[in-house]
Chains A and B, each alone.
Chain A
Amino acid sequence: MNNLLSYTKRTSYKTQLHYLASAFMSLVFLVSMGTSNAQTSPMSTVPEVKASGNGAPPQPQVQTNRTEAVDFKMTVGGGSSESSTTSTTSSTTTNEVVVQPRPKIPNSIAVTDFSVKREYKDFFYDEKASAKSSFNGNSNFGPTGGTQPPADGNTPQQPVTYSGNTTVSANSEFNYSKSFGTKRTISYSEIRGINADIKAAIIKAGYKVVQAAPNIAKDQQGDDFFDIRGRINRGDFGDAQYVLHGTIVNVDVRQTSDQIAGTSDYSYRLEYSLLAEFSLVNTETLEVIAAFNASGSGQDMYLGKYNANFVPRMNKITRDLLVSFGQDAQKSLYDQLPPLNKNTGGTGFFGGSNQQQIPGVGDPSTLKVYRPGKNNDSGKEPNTDIPLTIYRK
């Protein structure tokens, strides 16, 4: 930089401008081929930004020309990045940093809680009546003229006039209003605690389950509460490769009492049934990988005479409902789950998981049968050095 400044002192003003322009253009050209970095490399090659697989932020390489102090800030999150570069020269420039999206955890599924929309309709009836009345009366009466009779009696007496005024006012007000109709209330919420068996099935299948962020309804929430794409873009599901999104279609409650044929007893029954829709969505491509409906029901019953007091056991009903629902969902899930990526290793239901696979342990494809040792007649351990047969798929 000092060389550059001293050089410019020896040249004319016009020449200085020419050289400065040339230097600026060179700087722009060279910097445009790379990105800024705290580690300046005057002759670095084309930068290559690679996102690491373990979640560490990428370290971009920067190519600059004749810059000495470079500050670089980059934030990785949701695909956005910020960068700023300063230079001691009058020319300051940066180029775009291409940041690849954070890689997904292979064979991972985030399971959402059940988003549910509740709609209430309440009939309301309001009737008001009010009455108000007032009565005002005012009366004046008295002499308005005339004189007292003189003492001498010669002066004629002026007649006395009496006048009166009466004012009466009455006011009556009666108000009546009646309003009735149906009030419609919609609420959005999530139901938790239903997906445990489904998560267990996913884990058994060899997948990793990622905890999803809760979906919290806003004020004036609309049906975008069910927008799974928006939630994926917001990063509600972490780095999960797939998200299993469930929506409750219907919840049915039935309470019945029927006489049992051939007996004098009645069967009192309370049954809850649940129907839900599931979609397994690829968080990268938004492709729906699998979709199915699952249903379950739970009931409690009581046998008794007519008008018996039936107190249902809600815990039993809920447990039965969840068990049957989970079994139904598991069955459909196993039928449609995509095959595991075996390159990530594993010993899961479909042949892999993210755990380190130990050859020969727990894998039926490497079953080995060992021949007992020659001296194995006194309770000694069998000879496990030489396998007799190795079965492979």
Chain B
Amino acid sequence: MKTLNLSKIKYLALVSALLVIVGCGSSPTVKYADTKAVETVNTDFGSTDLQTIAEKMTGSLLESRTVLDSREPPVVTLYPVKNKTSDYIDTNAITTRIRGRLVRSGRVQFVASTSEMQNQVDELKRQNQNGLYSSQSQVAMGQMTGAQYRLEGFITSIVKQNKDVKDVFYTFHLTLFNNKTGVIVWEDEQDIRKTASR
């Protein structure tokens, strides 16, 4: 009985060691995928949602009269998009993507947003307040361009689920305000519905 138990233990230890060795040696298969491919891993906010919203909003804003009727590209500042969903969503990634598309179009200009002001102020201080830079080359303070418009928005979600189905409805809302008059000059929203079922 005692001998049998020992051999049994040795056998189990051997099997366990083998399993550990095999487990450590195997790696997941990695491959590059199409960045524009539809991602349907789950109902969380994903890359496809990000791309869809950015493309739709950019196209809509560029077709607005504010942009089309301006002789010079309107100067816009970007405000953070508020996340009103229960999930964690990096809204900065959405707005930055939209801003990038607008800037690359050449028809809209952006100035430093509130979240980017610290670096702007630090740079002005560095050039103007330490005596290191020549007066001809330093950028003068008080010459920043004020934004004519500001872009702000929010994202909300409605989630419904039972044991078999989960339905998520995202709404991304953007508004363009005229800073001088306070008038809303453009507004659009993009809806995304995602359903997961067992």
Interface residues of A (CB under 8 A from B): 260-265, 299, 301-304
Contacts and interface: CB of A to CB of B under 8 A. Distances in A.
B117 interface: yes
B118 A303 contact: no
B114 A303 contact: no
Contacts of A302: 129
Nearest to B141: A301
Contacts of A265: 118, 121, 125
A260 B121 CA distance: 9
B117 A303 contact: no
A305 B125 CA distance: 11
Given A265-B125, A303-B128, A304-B129, 7 more contacts: A261-B114, A262-B115, A262-B118, A263-B117, A303-B129, A303-B141, A304-B125
B124 interface: yes
Q: For this complex, into which size category does the number of interface residues on chain B fall?
A: 10 to 19
Interface in B112-128: 113-118, 121, 124-125, 128
A262 B124 CA distance: 15
A303 B124 contact: yes
Contacts, number: 29
Contact of B118 (A263, A299, A301, A304): A263
A304 B116 CA distance: 17
B23 interface: no
Contacts of A261: 114, 117
If over half of A's interface residues share one DSSP class (helix, strand or loop), that class is named, otherwise mixed; here it is: loop
A303 B121 contact: yes
Contacts of B131: none
A228 B141 CA distance: 42
A261 B124 CA distance: 15
A303 B115 contact: no
A260 B115 CA distance: 11
A304 B130 CA distance: 12
A301 B142 contact: yes
A292 B113 CA distance: 40
B142 A303 contact: no
Given A302-B129, A303-B129, A263 B142 contact: no
Contacts of B141: 301, 303
Q: Which 4 A-B pairs have the closest CB atoms?
A: A262-B114, A262-B117, A263-B118, A303-B125
Nearest to A320: B142
A262 B111 CA distance: 14
A374 to B, nearest CB: 49
